[in-house]
A and B are shown apart, each in its own frame.
Chain A
Amino acid sequence: MFRKKNTAGVNSNEIRAILDEKKAKMKLSLKACAHCSLCAESCFLFMGHNKDPKYMPSYKFLNSVGVLYKKKGNVDKLDLGEMRDLVWERCVLCTRCYCPIGIDIPDMLALARRICRSQGVYPQYDRE
């Protein structure tokens, strides 16, 4: 879907700089992910939400770090808002997810959180 980006308030250089710190691991992990969905059941939030695929660990990391990397940090507040929902509201970073290939999914989600935080995007506890 194409919509006009409003990149005000987002410093994509800063995002890129953070991505670069973990570039090698992130790139290799994104590439190695076979999109197999076998990690799904290892996340208790996936199990607790009627096995909603949007709670799959791989879905969360591919749509946060994966998108940030693909777009080279050129995202806007709306994108980051969606990522906030992914990495805070659909993940508690309990580090129990398990990938048969050995991808460190929690580390990737933590990276996405860090990037959100660097852009002033935080979890909203006052929201329903």
Chain B
Amino acid sequence: MALSHIFSWTFIYDFIRGPMVWISFIIFFCGVVFQVLRFMYLLKEQPVQKLEPGPGNIIHSQTVSHVKVDRVKTGWFKKGWFKKGPDKKDWMLWVKLSIAGVNPFMTIVTTIFHVLLIGVPVFVLGHNILLDNAFGVSMVSLPENVSDFLTGIVIFCTLIFLFRRLFLDRVKIITSYADYFFLSLAAAPFVTGYLAYHQVFSNYKLLISLHMLSGELMLMAVPFTKFMHMIYMIIVRFNVAGEYSFGNATKNW
């Protein structure tokens, strides 16, 4: 194969939409499996007193049993008739002190962003047609105008993130160039997809190539870069014991 052929436009285009897709998916899945296994190896079983999330439960836990004993001793209601669980006021305080309560705006923005970041590509019609062509199976698809709208929201959310990085002192102070790079990388597939769908530029082929390329780069980056907070969050939350863990987390590291 001549060098001029390898650098030719059609070759690159065919590579990006052909083998590169498989390569990136394989790297993504193998990377995720590798990181998950690594996490599981690092986390050691360490049975600890699990505090239920939510307010008030600490009174009933063994670690503060002396409090319980004192309480029981103080009255005729020791049979537990009046054992008081957390009431509505406690829960309200608990929510108010949580990140959702302290920072409701960012909680909403980041939740929407992350759900759509994963959801939209899966349910976009164009992707499902490709999936159908390749395997004869496909997911349910969103109507095109809906996925178009949701893509717009993803882009809007990244702009909010960007403005925070640029103008909010508390974010600026911990921002590095890498953060801008990864934010752009996360936004790139959506921006290029949006532009390609609306045929804003006449060069559709270039846009769709950039769309595929950025999507592939992003997939490959997930297990090995800053994007790994996706894996980190799930593994740590479900395994490392703590008052904010989910389920029966009993490990430590």
User: What residues make up the interface of A, taking CB atoms closer than 8 Å to B?
Assistant: 24-25, 28-29, 31-38, 40-42, 51, 53-54, 56, 58-59, 62, 98, 100-104
Contact = CB atoms under 8 A, between A and B. Distances in A.
A28 B38 CA distance: 11
Interface size class on chain B is 20 to 34
B232 interface: yes
A61 B36 CA distance: 24
Contacts of A28: 39, 228, 232
Contacts of A25: 42, 253
Question: 8 tightest A-B contacts by CB?
Answer: A102-B236, A32-B232, A53-B170, A32-B229, A41-B102, A53-B173, A37-B170, A35-B174
A62 B171 CA distance: 13
B175 A56 contact: no
A98 B232 contact: no
A24 B41 CA distance: 11
Interface of B: 38-39, 42, 99, 102-103, 106, 110, 164, 168-176, 179, 225-226, 228-229, 232-233, 236-237, 240, 244, 253
Contacts of B174: 35, 37, 53, 56, 58-59, 62
Contact of B240 (A34, A35, A41, A102): A102
A103 B226 CA distance: 13
A4 B97 CA distance: 45
Contacts of B236: 101-103
A15 to B, nearest CB: 21
Given A24-B42, A41-B102, A59 B173 contact: yes
Nearest to A39: B99
Contacts of A59: 173-174
Contacts of A42: 99, 102
A101 B232 contact: yes
